[in-house]
Amino acid sequence: MLLNNRIFDHYRENMTIGDVIEVMRFTYPRLVVKVNGRLIQKSEYNSTILNENDDVKIHHLLAGG
């Protein structure tokens, strides 16, 4: 699985977006999540199961300072 165009080392079967966010400690609330280009709403994070070949983007919309 790719996470933000990098190979995701922590992939395991039946992993959800919610799990990825937890593993990566992405605690920032304003995330833009896409799986294979499809936008995933926050309410779907825990029900969206990821496959090994998925291209996942979790972008933090933090333009800071």
Partner 1 sequence: MNLQELKNNRKILTEYSYEKKDLYRGYTDKTLYINISNNEVKVKDVSDRMKEKFIGGKGYGMRYLWDAVTPETRWDSEENEIIVAVGPVGGITQYPGSGKSLVCTISPMTDIPIDSNVGGYFGPYLKFSGFDALEIQGKAERDVVIIIDGKEKTVRIEEAPLEAVDGHILGEQLTNMYGNSESEKRLVSVITAGTAAEHTRIGILNFTFYDLRRKTARMKQAGRGGIGTVFRNKKIKAVVVIAEEVKGNLNNAFDQGIINETGIKLHREMAHLDHLQNNMRKIGTANIIEVMDAYDLLPVHNFQYGSHPDTKKIESKVFIRDYCTQNMPDGCWYGCSVACSKAADNFELKTGPYKGHKVVVDGPEYENAAGVGANCGIFDPHAVLELNFYCDTYGIDTISYGTLTAFAMECYERGIINKEITGGLDLRFGNADASLALIHQMAKGEGFGLIAGQGVHRMKKHFVENYGADAAFLEDIGAEQKGLEYSQYMSKESLAQQGGYGLTNKGPQHDEAWLIFMDMINNQIPTFENKAEALHYFPMFRTWFGLLGLCKLPWNDIVPANNSETEEPAKIQEHVDNYHKLYYGITGTKIDSAEMIRQSERVYNFQRIFNIRMGKGLRKNDKTPYRTMGPVTKEEYLSRESNYEKQMIELGFDLTGKTVEEKIALLRKHRESQYEQLTDAVYKRRGWTMNGVPTPEKLKDLGMDLPELLEVIKPYL
5 by DSSP, 3-state: which?
Answer: coil
Q: What is d(CA 35, CA 44) in angstroms, rounded to the nearest whole number?
A: 11
Amino acid at 37: G
Structure tokens at 61: 């919309």
Interface region with partner 1, contact rule CB under 8 A, candidates 4-12, 14-22, 46-54 = 4-12
Q: Which of residues 5-44 bind partner 1 (CB under 8 A)?
A: 5-6, 25, 27-30, 32, 39
Structure tokens at 16: 């959800």
* Cβ distance to partner 1 smaller for residue 18 or 57: 57
The binding site for partner 1 (CB under 8 A) comprises 4-6, 25, 27-30, 32, 39, 57-65
